Structure 1
Amino acid sequence: MRIMLEHLTTELSNPASEALDSLSPREIVALINSEDAGIADAVAQQSEQIAKAIEVIAHRLRHGGRLIYIGAGTSGRLGILDAAECPPTFNSDPSQVVGIIAGGPTAVLRAVEGAEDSPELAKQDLKNIELCSNDVVVGIATSGRTPYVAGALEYARSQGAYAIGLSCNHNATINTRSDLTISPVVGPEILSGSTRMKAGTATKMVLNMLSTGAMVRLGKTYGNLMVDLQATNTKLTERSRRILAKLAMISPEDAAIQLHQCGGELKVAIVSQRLNLSPDEARQRLQANGGHLRQALENDPD
């Protein structure tokens, strides 16, 4: 899978930053900010592909599958970050959204030389988590040609998993290994080849959309409120109280009592208070509506 790096958009020299080392701090900030301004437009051009990916991910998660991010270097770290944020934000099982990085956990903080060059290592990493046909694998490679990611996508398809390739180059190598490709092309970096910058930002934006969009489709929110969060610290406990007080139209003090009676389960507390049900009855109603709070509140019981 040899590709001349100089042909990749992410490796080209950016004319706007040719005098980078002679700029003042203020000029460096202005230049980076100016270049970053186009990232959202590049992501917007991939809206249809991202929306399709959200539908596929939500469908497979709903049927017991997993969302698996896999990448090397910055790409792998961004996948791990997004996966790690899902349990506290959406009360998802930690095994539901998984992040894998070439070289293993050590590579999160320190580069593991050569790990990104091994397709077989990716195959083994996916075997280690028992990849199955219900899963969705998002292979993240801003260059679009990382052997580790290409190998991961090839293996994913061979197992019947849905393979999504995420890169920041047109006509990326991983496109031919994917069922769906997402390619926000942000142009050459301010620091040539440093894809932790614009390409990394675009990648983070796409991952935000994939996980958030899928979780919304699974009923993890009510409007724009995080009603399926885990109250694992003081901030989240207070947020749960505020949300319950708002949606049930009760005082924060009463909200605290109601949450305690419902074992800290915010959605259960909301249904219990709004529909005058016991916590067990509220849980049953939520289960009957697939965990969707709005449906549990608005649908007539069978």
Structure 2
Amino acid sequence: MSASSMLRHFFSIADLRKEEIEDMLDRAARLCSVGPMGTEMAGKVVGLCFFQESTRTRVGFDAAVKRLGGSTVIVTEAREVQRAPSPESLEDTIRAVSGYCDMIVMRHAETPALHAAMRASVAPVINAGCGCEHHPTQALLDLFHIKNRFGRLEGLRIGLVGDLCTSRAARSLLQTMRHWPPAELRLMAPPGREATGEALLHVAKSSVSVYPELIAADLDVLYVAGMPNPESEPCFSLELRKRFTVYRETLEALPSHGIIMCPLPRIDEIAVDVDQSRHATYFEQSDNALWARMAALLFQYGRCKQ
């Protein structure tokens, strides 16, 4: 296999050109139109190395690989790499697993750990979420869902609500907006948990508005990033959480075509009775993720053969 320094890893959505993202979105659309079974990755083995808890992303990639004719090996949780008297290093684990695989899909709670794994791997790596900064395949599937719904990505009124400081899904979606500027970008977060200046670096300031509560009026897309209680910080109070929760009455402010998206899991940020509304598209968004993940796998496999 090629030396790690020669490999092209898929680390951040910001690393990709607009044309590359569009190619993946077009491929996802073609896959959706012809059905989920293919042979493009027949005989290929993908290692799913998830060192942070996940359900949708891990199962989604597992299904995507198999729908393309490939097979998977799975490493989950740090306990699977423990050896007495001390744990095996992450680098050694990835080096060994990557030697058996044609590609690695990896999630980790810490971004530096993913960088270290990429340096150690002898197979190309797809970032399936790291730290609170990057979740590039989530951004891809979000874009795919939005384009399916509206036929375009540019010029929409988009609202992001939740703990935007630590939401890697929200931050990755924000990174794509330099390619498709929104008509309005409404950021709704608790005080001190707003999106950082770095995340908004490539978004026109004239389109950005900031609110300390959920205001859904006139939005095309309401993206619910969620509010997991931040580590090393006081828990969000119930009163504060309610200010950023989507209730049935919240929907009255949305236009008839407006949609609610969520990267899931849904905890308490969207009331269950919202699910029956025509605005609720987060499970459809999750279903559509299959095509986006298949497209990401084929993109990474294709460019690593160049």
TM range (shorter): 0.3 to 0.5
Provide TM-score, normalisation by structure 2.
0.34
- Which structure: greater helix fraction? 1
